[in-house]
Amino acid sequence: MKTIIITGGAGFIGSHVVRRFVQNHPDYKIINVDALTYAGNLENLKDIENEPNYVFERADIQDTEKINSLFETYNVTDVVHLAAESHVDRSITNPLDFVYTNVIGTVSLLEAAKKYWKDDYSNHLFYHISTDEVYGSLGTEGFFTETTKYDPHSPYSASKASSDHFVRAYHDTYGIPIVVSNCSNNYGPNHFPEKLIPLLINNIINNKPLPVYGNGMNVRDWLYVKDHARAIELIFHEGNVGDTYNIGGFNEWANIDLVRVLCRQMDAKLGREPGTNEQLITFVKDRPGHDARYAIDATKLNKELGWSPSVTFEEGLAETIDWYLANKAWIEHVTSGAYAAYYETQYDKR
């Protein structure tokens, strides 16, 4: 019997992780701890909200008193930590928000784990979900491995790198059982439309310009979110304590090529003439400090734990587009109000 806090469970990746754990492990109690920022949305979990092994607790992970009380009330055995400020462009405008949640919030959770697990660390795990962006930027060759030196460039990746270091420091200093995974770019259902793929889908549906930063040649390595959630479930159960695992599907795309593929797939889905959506492509000012290329080497995860992606990019993208077309109300809810105002500040340069 485990009682697991999953932080950030109302967000994009977190909601897929919560669903997997709730559905696959009826013997675990899953406590979704989320502050419900602009990125958190309980609509993502409507289908499982009444499951007997699921509880939602609205809390800010920086609130140490509240986090302590949750550890005490539920006798928490494990933490799967996803809550974060996650958007690079927002980190450029508001870096302190990223320090507060990603760094201080993570340390606040580690402190609770240290306090409440100290009598016997052996039956516990603090699993920290991180990103490939901590490794910095690659040239045209090579991959990020688990031993690549950290070299973050954006306030977002600097805050995630810092949180990774704190998690490992709590292992080395206090003996807290930890595991860290660093994943490539995710895409899929429930992705907030400030991020590239859902932003493109939403804009194509609405015949709005498709903003491509710089020359569009920056490369990202894309993984379907449900495959990331599968990897997290596997690492949680079978990963070596103290270890790091890189997660990725060897699926690199230059942004502009990805935009074109998506335009073509959506021409077909929307019954538009081939080439219609590509006319919406608009090159805009580049992101400051824009990393050139990310590429994950996931060999360790494959060799040691037998994980590999279950869907091709084409299949994942098709499922994603279908989900957005079938869930227009979801997009309307998350893009109304504050998000609409944010979007205007981002793309008024066109």
Least gap, CB of 187 to ligand TDX (angstroms): 8
Each residue 11-50 as x (binds ligand TDX by CB under 6 A) or -, in order, gives: ----------------------------------------
Question: Under the criterion CB under 6 A, does residue 251 sit at the interface with ligand NAD?
Answer: no
Catalytic annotation present for 116: no
Catalytic pick from 54, 127, 135, 156? Answer: 156
Catalytic annotation present for 315: no
Q: Which is nearer to ligand NAD, 83 or 277 (CB)?
A: 83
Q: Which is nearer to ligand NAD, 101 or 255 (CB)?
A: 101
Strand partners for 254: 219
Residues 152-181 that bind ligand NAD (CB under 6 A): 160
Catalytic pick from 34, 133, 194, 221? Answer: 133
Which of 16, 29, 90, 195 is in the footprint of ligand TDX by CB under 6 A?
195
Least gap, CB of 187 to ligand NAD (angstroms): 7
Residue with tokens 């500040």: 345
Which of 70, 88, 125, 229 is in the footprint of ligand TDX by CB under 6 A?
88
Each residue 29-48 as x (binds ligand NAD by CB under 6 A) or -, in order, gives: -----xxxx-xx--------
How many residues belong to the site for ligand TDX (CB under 6 A)?
Answer: 16
The answer to whether 310 and 227 are in contact (CB under 8 A) is yes
The answer to whether 297 and 144 are in contact (CB under 8 A) is yes
Residue whose Cβ sits closest to ligand NAD: 11
Pairing of strands 78-81, 125-131: parallel
Catalytic annotation present for 133: yes
Q: Which is nearer to ligand NAD, 61 or 321 (CB)?
A: 61
Residues labelled catalytic: 132-133, 156
* Binding interface with ligand NAD (CB under 6 A): 7-8, 10-14, 34-37, 39-40, 60-62, 82-86, 101, 105, 129-131, 160, 183, 185-186, 192
* Binding interface with ligand TDX (CB under 6 A): 86-88, 131, 133, 185, 195-196, 199, 211-213, 218, 220, 255, 287
